Amino acid sequence: MARTSGWQAALIALSIRRRGVVLALAVLLAALAVNVARTASTDVFPEFAAKMVKVQTEATGLSPEQVELLVTNPLEAASSGLLGVKQVASKSLPGISILKLYFEADTQLQEDRWRVAQHLASVHLPAGVGPPRLIPLTSSTGTVLMAGLTSHRKSLMDLQSIAQWDIRPQLMAVPGVANVLVFSQQVRALQVRVDPQALQRFHLDLQQVQAATQHATGLLGAGFMPTPQQRVLLVSHGAADTPQALAATVLRATPDGAITLGDVAQVGYASLPAIGGASISGQPAVILKIQESYGANTLAVTRGVQAVLQRHRAALAAQGIALHAKLFRPADFITIAMRNVRDSLVLGALLVVLVIALTLLDWRAALISSLAIPLSLLAAVTVLVWMGVTLNVMTLGGLAIAIGVVVDDAVIDVENILRRLRANAVAALPQPPLRVVLAACLEVRGAVVYATAAVLLVIVPILLLPGLSGRLFAPLAQAYALSVLASLAVALTVTPALAALLLAGRDHRLHTRAPVRVAQRGYGALLHRLLPHWLPAALMTVLLVGGAALLTGGMGGSFLPPLQEGQYIVHMRLAPGASIQASLDEGARVTQALERLPQVRLVAQHTGRATLSPDASGTQSSSLDVNLKPGADSAQALAAIERVLGGFAGASFRVNSFLTERMDNTVASGAGAPLVVHVLGNHLHTLDAVAARVATVLSRLPTATGVQLQAPPGVPQLDISLDAQALRRWGLQPLPVLQTIQTAFAGRIAGTVFHGAVPVPVRVVLDRCARSNPQALGDLLIHTPTLGFVPLSQLARISAASGPSDIRHLGGQREQTVLASTTSTNLTGFVQRAHAAIARQVQLPPGVTLQFEGEAAQRSATLQRLGVDVLGVLAGLILLLSIALGRRPHAREGHAATPLQAASTTTRQVLLVLLSVPTAWAGGVFAAWLVGGVLSLGAVIALLALMGISLRNAILIFAHAAQLQREQGLDWNTDTLQRAVADRLAAIVMTSLVTALGVLPLALGLHAPGREIEGPMAVALLGGLLTSLLYNLFVLPSLALRFGVAHPRNRAPE
């Protein structure tokens, strides 16, 4: 082995000499770390959403095609060339445009938002279109709480006003709240509902009504009056702010008296056109959806939000309003998940300490080894917090996996110190104990440093993972790497200091470890009989690895396992063009059926979109949040929910859990399904036809469920084509005619009145009776400059048609998207069958392409990236191992090896060490197969981390054998290898055992909340640890005896 570097020797010597100072500093740093960990931000997962800027633009009254042409296309053209933009997606719906800009991972999100705002400010949009508005930044999970209001005494308009203007401002003031969305079917407005017959009778038009309403409700500042001594502020009043005052507004003065708004319209309070709605257990409601800011502490934000709601509870109850404060609360899942993982980590650590105590049979040695766990893990947590990483199930999982390496660093030192002190106690010329401690620490440091480097090198591919995989699993790798580095620092400082304090001054002739010696003798005797039989060992290894390779090809794969969140989201979609009321009525029937299930506690529905909502959905779309009862089995509940939904033929449904859907949104451009097929092209009808064919093919697959088009065509519409000749004949221009149509049917906001501090819009629109019948459109009277009134039917061709519910773009192309889920746990297999079926049965027209996204695509891309990076790591490992194993023992006379033989020996030993990797992998594959047959991405990540532990043990065996040859002049033979492995037996077994015990609680709680990812990881680790241990203890020594050296004088006889 390479000589221990000077800085390590100096640091260990300093730690022994100044042990009091070292231990005092360790206590202070541990106290600091405890405080940092106690106040750290916690969440169930790291921030996993891609860097995205979302832009919303209101275009009231425009159809999806018009929104695409006039709003979305100019915004896309202005933003697609921005620095750092890797993808642009958009959605054009009736009256609104949503633009999503996805940025590269190395950009700064705040700077991205600033650049987007600068570019879009220069875009010229048509009159009547609102300015582009950047949506507030939210966290990956987005929603931090959903609450609702219901009442039998108050109207929905009253509830909406209370939610929007009393509760929402206080919620927005809570630190960490980014936005509060209010879903309500009714929003109060002061409406002027015009009678078209009265307009004709008084020879007036809608534009005059609009202007009179605007003048009546306008409010202007009057300025001030300067006097010699002071400035007097002028405050003007008189704007109409009640229905009676507005109805008395004069439209025209005549000799017979004034014509007022009340003569041509009904003036009163009514609701604005519904863009959304909500219900709780089928009862009409107002729902508040609170979204948290990017990087906020979910638990802290939840406490702040609930404190605000609690302050309102008594006042709401006095008004007969029921407050439902926990319709959806992710903090519950976070709390349970973090508690489960934390308890598993603590239990694993306690089991590790118990094993250390029972193995070492020395309370001082056990204490020194055990203290490495809290010191190393706390140090890792502190650095993670300083790096801005939240404490979540991934970071805690990394800490749990690292426990074995953390303990091993200390145990190797302590075990070697004890062995050297016992040998020194019976030596003829004993050395000073402190010098023995120093020598014992230095003796193993070189091998341990190389082994630690190997451990860190194998997790580099995890740190380099791109996309969602990297954002999810990189914190796990960071926690693991920081724990390993911290354990190395503890082994160089605290462990020598404690050994000098607790071990150096005792009489080691009185302290023996009979159980360890018995185990070593028994293992040595068994190994002695097995060492010559290298061929059976090699064949068993080949069979194990080959069987695992065959098994891997037939196993199912998933990106992430199902999460036990205690709730599900049911996405319901009616036929295109369905009204808000129709969606709410169907939702009420679905709610009633779902709430009869024994697993379901409550169902809350929100339809369409909220006021100021960043996400736009059509009136035919609803989300039903299904809350399960505590302790309900999620799998059984999901099956029951899907059975109930199968009984509703008038709607299509898709079921997902909240966090899983958020991840699906991240990997599939916001689509939110495990399998997403983007049909890309230019012609909408062609895209719809191809997408419909793809959906038909997918729906025929045996385990397919929730197959639907994301933007179904067929929205009923009436096309109005103005006749240019008729307009000239009647002396009209197009824009005034279009403005009249817009005012009549969409309504126009003419002003705002205030009830206290609450703004109430004033809207001018035709009376409902005149605009509720499609036949009435042609009867709309258009006022001409000189010829009176003319019906719209004489100015335009009106025809029934159908159009898209929304138009989507991806990467500058139009797209139609097909979504699908599966009831199978083998998502990879389902997607493979889907690809094959689509390739066989769907023929693509020219100009149309398919793009697949979703969990399976993300898993495949991740595995491909891992494969490439692992090749680089393999090269690095070969170099590292060549350095670590390349220094040959001092040759005795007649036993010198030639340079070629030395190089051959190094190559042989490197290959034997690397063989521990596939054996560890094989054990993990078999373990995953035994518990379900699915090799999740988390299990693959865990096996990468396991490779480091397996390599570490193999390196230490060869290192100790080389040390025996170097110090005692032994040949490479059965006795040398038997002694080398037996001496390292305790350390190797303890490393594997404590790693296994550290993750065993995670494996036992495989499907508990918070352990869904770490559970399969732990199972794979346990299987890999077993086969790795067997390889290092029994197979490696046999192969090493036969192939370990190239020099014939140093090799055992065949």
DSSP 904-923: HHHHHHHHHHHTHHHHHHHH
Q: Concatenate the DSSP letters of all residues of 329-386 into one string.
A: -HHHHHHHHHHHHHHHHHHHHHHHHHHHHHHH--HHHHHHHHHHHHHHHHHHHHHHHH
List of domains in the chain: 1-39+354-512 (1.20.1640.10), 189-214+241-248+264-271+716-804 (3.30.2090.10), 518-554+886-1054 (1.20.1640.10)
- In angstroms, the CA 854 to CA 876 distance is 33
| 1010 pLDDT higher than 70 | no
- Residue 2 has a pLDDT of 39
What's the CA gap between 481 and 459, in Å, rounded?
A: 8
Residue-level pLDDT at 1054: 41
Per-residue pLDDT of 293-343, as tens digits, reads 887 888 889 999 999 999 999 999 999 999 999 888 888 888 887 787 777
Query: Residue 1011 pLDDT > 80, yes or no?
Result: no
DSSP structure string for 604-673: EEEEE--BT-SS---TTEEEEEEEEPTT--HHHHHHHHHHHHTT-TTSEEEEE-HHHHHHHHHHTTT--S
Average pLDDT over residues 647-661: 85
pLDDT at 199 over 70: yes
Q: What pLDDT shows up at residue 3?
A: 45
* Closest-CA residue to 586 (of 605, 611, 567): 605
Longest dimension (CA), the chain: 134
User: CB–CB of 180/291 below 8 Å?
Assistant: yes
Sign of CA dihedral 928, 931, 935, 938: negative
**pLDDT of the residue at 514:** 58
Looking at per-residue pLDDT, the higher value among 507 and 132 belongs to 132
Sole residue written with tokens 């794969």: 557
* Rounded Cα gap, residues 406 and 752, in angstroms: 67
pLDDT score at 581: 92
| Residue 668: predicted pLDDT | 58
Give me the DSSP letters along 956-984.
Answer: HHHHHHHHHHHHH---SSHHHHHHHHHHT
Q: What is the pLDDT of residues 756-784, one digit of tens each?
A: 888 999 999 998 887 777 777 888 888 88
Coil, strand or helix: which one is 694?
Answer: helix
Compute the average pLDDT of residues 470-487: 88
Spatial separation of the C-alpha atoms in residues 1042 and 875, rounded to whole Å: 25
pLDDT in tens, 712-757: 887 888 889 999 999 998 989 998 898 888 888 888 889 899 888 8
Q: Mind spelling out the 3-state secondary structure of 444-500?
A: HHHHHHHHHHHHHHHCHHHHCCCHHHHHHHHHHHHHHHHHHHHHHHHHHCHHHHHHH
Helix, strand and coil content of the chain, in percent to the nearest 5, comes to: 55, 20, 25
Tokens of 736: 């005034």
Residue 624: pLDDT band (50, 70, 90) is very high
Which of the given ranges, 48-52, 409-413, 687-691, 861-865, has the highest pLDDT on average?
687-691
Of 249-253, 457-461, 958-962, least confident by mean pLDDT is: 958-962
Beta-carbon contacts of residue 943 (< 8 Å; ≥ 6 apart) = 920, 921, 924, 1020, 1021, 1024
List 102's β-bridge partners, or say none.
52, 87
CA gyration radius for the chain? 37
- Residue 324's closest CA among 208, 163, 443? 163
Q: What is the dihedral of CA 104, 106, 110, 116, to 10 degrees?
A: -30
Amino acid identity, residue 861? Answer: A
Write down the pLDDT at residue 175: 93
User: How remote is the C-alpha of 327 from its chain's centroid?
Assistant: 21
Q: What is the mean pLDDT of residues 14-25?
A: 90
* Most confidently modeled range among 348-357, 378-387, 589-598, 953-962: 589-598
Residues 6+ apart with CB under 8 A from 723: 795, 796, 797
Residues listed for the chain: 1054
pLDDT reported for residue 269: 93
512 pLDDT exceeds 60?
A: no
Nearest CA to 298 out of 411, 381, 176 is that of: 176
Mean pLDDT of all residues in 27-49: 84
Residues with Cβ within 8 Å of residue 530, at least 6 apart in sequence = 537, 1034, 1037, 1038
- How far apart CA 705 and CA 486 sit, in angstroms, is 48
What is the DSSP-derived secondary structure letter of residue 71?
Answer: I
- Distance CA(942)–CA(925), nearest Å, equals 11
pLDDT of 567 = 87
Among the listed ranges 71-75, 200-204, 258-262, 979-983, which one has the minimum average pLDDT value?
979-983
Lowest mean pLDDT among 132-146, 376-390, 552-566, 1009-1023: 552-566
User: What integer best gives the mean pLDDT of the chain?
Assistant: 84
Instruction: Read off the pLDDT band of 513 (50, 70, 90).
Output: low
The yes-or-no verdict on residue 641 having pLDDT over 90 is yes
Mean pLDDT for 117-121 is: 86
Burial of 710 (0-12, 13-18, 19+ CB in 10 A): buried
